[in-house]
Amino acid sequence: MSKIFYEKKIIFSAIVLFEVYYKTIQYQGLEAAQLRYATLKSIKADHISELTEPVLLKGGEIKAVHQISLAGSIIVAHAFIYDINTD
């Protein structure tokens, strides 16, 4: 297993789980999506489900400047707000 699971703090935004779930349904079916979702939820990680005002404002700023999806702007906003190092 990758060292990232042992050496880095993992944070999952609910929007990431949503994106993985629906894309997996589209390409691999409901059963595969349910398994993938359960697997991601079982990983030792902080699961963020709330869209706080700072995340909404930062996401809006990001989306206004960059042509990315709503989900992408919220994911990036979580990275900024939670000071996630992507190295």
Domain-wise residue ranges, the chain: 9-81
Q: What is the model's pLDDT at position 46? A: 85
Classify residue 48 by its DSSP letter. Answer: E
Confidence of residue 6 (pLDDT cuts 50, 70, 90): low
Give tens-digit pLDDT for 44-87. 888 888 889 999 999 999 999 999 999 999 999 998 888 776 55
pTM over 0.85: no
CATH class entry, domain 9-81: alpha beta
What distance in Å separates the CA atoms of residue 34 and residue 37, rounded to the nearest whole number?
5
**How confident is the model over 11-52, as pLDDT tens digits?**
888 999 999 999 999 999 999 999 999 999 998 888 888 889
Strand partners, 47: 12
